[in-house]
Amino acid sequence: MEHVAAHGAEVMVATHNQASIEATVALMGQLGIEPAAPGVSFGQLLGMADHLTFTLGRNSYRVSEVLKTPPGSKSRILSPLLVILQHIHILAQHQPFYGQLHIAN
């Protein structure tokens, strides 16, 4: 993280572990790295710890979800999945989350 702050390096924190995410967010704050800064992003698998992903996104952190599909199945999966993702996106904007992620400001 020090290289991100001082030299413009980039890092992706790919974890579903809440404590690791909270520690990263705290370290970013200590180093003066803004949530939306291009040097740090978070990544999770779609459907795993979505409450963490959504909370990070709502707090302006850069976050991505990855969809893992079996070989050759993308064309069968993507069309209905896009509809589901649109519904999840709409619901996520209006529903409370059942998990908590502590983000110190």
What is the per-residue pLDDT across 35-67, written as a single tens digit (0 to 9) for each? Answer: 998 899 998 887 788 888 889 988 999 988 877
- Structural domain includes residue 29: yes
* Rounded average pLDDT over 62-85: 71
φ/ψ of residue 34, rounded to 5: -70, 150
**What's the whole-model pTM score?**
0.67
Task: Using pLDDT thresholds of 50, 70 and 90, give the confidence band for residue 27.
Answer: very high
pLDDT of residue 28: 94
Question: Is the model more confident about 6 or about 88?
Answer: 6
φ/ψ of residue 76, rounded to 5: -75, -25
Cβ contact 46:53 at 8 Å = no
- Structural domain includes residue 105: no
pLDDT of residue 79: 64
- Structural domain includes residue 103: no
- The domain total for the chain is 1
- Structural domain includes residue 101: no
Residue 66: closest CA among 87, 41, 90, 92: 41
Give the domain range for residue 61.
Answer: 2-94
- Structural domain includes residue 84: yes
Task: Using pLDDT thresholds of 50, 70 and 90, give the confidence band for residue 98.
Answer: very low
